[in-house]
Structure formats: structure tokens, C-alpha cells
Structure 1
Amino acid sequence: MVSKRLKATGKGGGTLVLDARSLSRQVDGDTGMRARIKAAELNGRRVALSALTPLEVRRSEQAGRRLAFLLARFDVRPVDKAVLHTAGRLLGTTGLDGHEYLVDAVVVATTALCLPPVRLVTSDCSHIPTPTAAARELPQQPEIGLITV
């Protein structure tokens, strides 16, 4: 579920997608991450993430309440057939092992299926770039810009 404010501002501004580390930074109150998300929202970008991402970031107590609050504000994208198909194509194209790269492939596939222009915020410089580069080769997929934090 997406907040009314994000639905109203998300028209045509594209999408900022958070991976687990960037969501974790937001939950933990990182000022740089907060500023990046605020700027995206002010510029009409939708802030989104894969439904798998909160499972990687799981928190308890006060941090858990902050995570729940953020999930109510952000566009939590389901892992549907389109995402699974795209993630499978990314793994197949790159030759990456599904056991090791499954979540990364799903996050990149989710990103590839978002409203362009799309930017993926990540700190993963080892796993994310390969499927992201492969996504650029898929027909009718937007180019994914990487923002490293």
C-alpha cells in the first residue's frame, strides 16, 4: 500500500528503489539516506522496494516500528510472475547461481519493472552490478541507474 502523498507525487517522476542496506540505513536514521529519500519524494519519484527486502532488514522493538512505518509509506512491490520471469532471465543471461544471487536478481528485476527513470540505491558493489547490466539488455526494460551508498 502506498501513501496518498506518494501516489499524488509519484506521477511521471520515476522510481527510487531501495535494497536491503539502503532500507536498513533509513530505518537506522542515517541522515544521508533520509535526505536522499526526501529529495526523491520532493522530485516526484516513487520510493519502492521488493517485498523480499523487509525480510532481509527485519527489526524488533522501536526499530521494528520505524520499519513498519516506512513500509506503510513506500511502494512495497510484490514478487509476482513478471518479477520471477525477469529475475530468471537475469540469472540465465548472466550465468549467476540462483542460490547465491536469488535476492539480488529479484531486487534488480523489481527495479527493472518500475516506472522509469529508475534508480537503485545499493551498497552491494559485488552482486548487484552484474544483474543490473544484464537488465539493460532485456527488451523494453528501462535503464537502471545505480546509486552507491
Structure 2
Amino acid sequence: MTPRPPRRLPPRNRTFVLDCEALSKATLGDQTLGLFVKAASRAGIRVVTSALTLLEAWDPRAGARTKAWDWTLSRIEIVYVDEAITSKAQELLTEAKLHGHKYAIDSVLAAVALQCAQRGDQVAVLTSDVDDMRRFLDGTPVAIEAV
């Protein structure tokens, strides 16, 4: 599926939040996601992910692809997990009645997206886990787009 900027987002103050699959595709040479990151960077659109998502997406077997990894990360803002993000992620997990490692990083990414929305950005999460993200982000101003 080709990710496209959601139609409801105006051209200014856009932020796209990449989950593990979106980040992996972009760093492993997926043309669509790679071009998307490049175009967003050129247009001044923020592309972010969490530091934990970096760990989730890292594949040491992709050694020859480190140039693509480095290039992609040079165009992405990394949001580090601090107390505010952790607290919001815990709140999201509690509200969704979820726990454990299966949902922890997704809840952190949702907290990052909500933090971006709080600063006034129009935010979309590019994710392969649409159902999980809906558990955390339904009823919020954050759009969810499948990759």
C-alpha cells in the first residue's frame, strides 16, 4: 500500500510518526517509504519516531544496508522516552486494558503522536498495526494510516 498524506491534513504543521514497519521499510530500501521520507523532509514536514521504535526496527542482519539506515535516520526526528512519554504510555495502556511487551512500544509511539498533536501539529501515524493504534488513539485528533 502506498502511504499518502491524509487528505484532512493541511500543508502546514504536519507530523508523520513512523512505527516499526514503516521505519523498517524506509531503511531497507522500500522505494515508496524512502521517497515519502525524502519528500516530507524536503517539504519541511516533520517525520518522527520513538527511540524505542529504532531498537524494534534494527536488524543486525541488514549490515550492508546501514547507509540506507543512516540516510533515513538523518531525516527523522528521534523522540526520546522521558517521564512524560512514559506516563502517557502507561495511561494509554490502562485505558485500553492492555499490558506487556506486545503493546509497550506501540503505546509509547501513540504517546509520541499525542505529544506532537498537543503542540498544535496535524499528526498521522504510519503503521502496520492499525487495530492496535486505534486502541490507543481513537477519539484523538491523530490520524492513523496503514502501511
Identify if the C-alpha distance between structure 1 residues 36 and 63 changes in structure 2 by more than 3 Å, giving closer, same or farther. same
Residue of structure 2 aligned with 1:124, choices 125, 129, 133: 129
Aligned residues: 131
Identity %: 31
Match of 1:74 in 2: 76
After superposition, what is the alpha-carbon deviation per residue over 1:33-91, rounded to whole angstroms, capped at 9, x for unaligned?
12322332344211110001111111332223321332233100000111101101101
Match of 2:115 in 1: 113
CA distance in 2, matches of 1:55, 1:86: 20
In 1, are the aligned partners of 2:110 and 2:133 still within 8 Å (CA)? yes
Match of 1:56 in 2: 56
Match of 1:148 in 2: 146
In 2, are the aligned partners of 1:91 and 1:98 still within 8 Å (CA)? no
Q: Which amino acid aligns with 2:133?
A: I
Q: Which amino acid aligns with 2:54?
A: P
Q: How does 1:99-110 map to 2 (within 5 A)?
A: 99-110=101-112
CA distance in 2, matches of 1:65, 1:83: 30
In 2, are the aligned partners of 1:19 and 1:122 still within 8 Å (CA)? yes
Q: Which runs of 5+ in 1 are unaligned?
A: 1-11, 137-142
Match of 2:14 in 1: 14
Q: Which runs of 5+ in 2 are unaligned?
A: 1-11
SS at match of 1:113: helix
Aligned-CA RMSD value? 1.8
Q: CA deviation at 1:16?
A: 0.8
TM-score (norm 2): 0.80
Match of 1:37 in 2: 37
Greater RCO (Cα-Cα under 8 Å, separation 6 or more): 2
Residue 90 in structure 1 maps to residue 92 in structure 2: yes
Q: CA deviation at 1:98?
A: 3.5
In 2, are the aligned partners of 1:13 and 1:43 still within 8 Å (CA)? no
SS at match of 1:29: coil
After superposition, what is the alpha-carbon deviation per residue over 1:75-132, rounded to whole angstroms, capped at 9, x for unaligned?
0000011110110110111111234311110011011112511111011133222112
Identify if the C-alpha distance between structure 1 residues 111 and 56 changes in structure 2 by more than 3 Å, giving closer, same or farther. same
